[in-house]
Copies of this chain bind each other. A is one copy, B any other.
Amino acid sequence: MSVEITIQPITAAAFAPYGDLIDCAGDPDAIINLGKCGRYNDRAQMAFDGARAGLSLFNAEIRTLPYEFNLLERHPLGSQAFVPMSNDGFLVIVAPDQNDKPGTPVAFETKPGQAINFHKGTWHGVLTPLSGTGHFAVVDRIGDGNNLQEFSLPTPHIVVRG
């Protein structure tokens, strides 16, 4: 017995309840560096409650579809941004909160050149690249306090393409 989830195309609007979709779509906010660089400014709603921002790297195993999972987690004290360091999309699993437990999970896949930022407290799956190097830069909260809550779904969920 398992639950199948079909990947949805990610858009800023569809992802907005969970976080920020960050890319170079549209016009930049500023042109800098003598005209040779566009700046898409300040695109993530970041939070680092009572602590500070840190920059870390994650080296994650490449996954394949269909992808089975039952672990979700959230960070109650801060946001968490994921920037792929290769030109690849990646699988993003999130869930709305329902009384301090995750509701029905939703799966998105980013496009190459896109990063995402989970808002503070958003339930999400672990980092799941589907191609590329598996190297990501992560901007999240560095400090004391319990900033990790995990939840195991009672039924395995399986992510597939539509």
Among A38, A44, A56, A126, which residue has the most Cβ atoms of chain B within 10 A?
A56
The stretch among A5-13, A21-29, A99-107, A153-161 that forms the contact with chain B is A21-29
B55 touches A38 (CB 8 A): no
Q: How many copies of this chain does the complex contain?
A: 2
> Is there a chain B Cβ closer than 8 Å to A92's Cβ?
no
B84 touches A37 (CB 8 A): no
A36 touches B61 (CB 8 A): yes
- How far, in whole Å, are A86 and B138 apart by their CA atoms in the complex? 15
> Is there a chain B Cβ closer than 8 Å to A113's Cβ?
yes
How many whole Å from A11's CB to the nearest CB in chain B? Answer: 17
A59 interface neighbour in B38, B42, B54, B142, Cβ under 8 Å: B38
Other than the given A46-B53, A83-B83, 19 more pairs (CB < 8 A) read A32-B58, A33-B126, A36-B60, A37-B58, A37-B126, A37-B127, A39-B58, A40-B58, A40-B59, A41-B142, A42-B54, A42-B56, A43-B57, A44-B54, A44-B55, A46-B54, A55-B139, A83-B85, A139-B139
Q: List 18 A-B contacts (CB under 8 A).
A: A24-B57, A28-B59, A36-B60, A36-B61, A37-B59, A37-B60, A39-B58, A39-B138, A53-B53, A57-B115, A83-B85, A84-B85, A85-B85, A85-B87, A85-B113, A86-B86, A87-B133, A87-B135
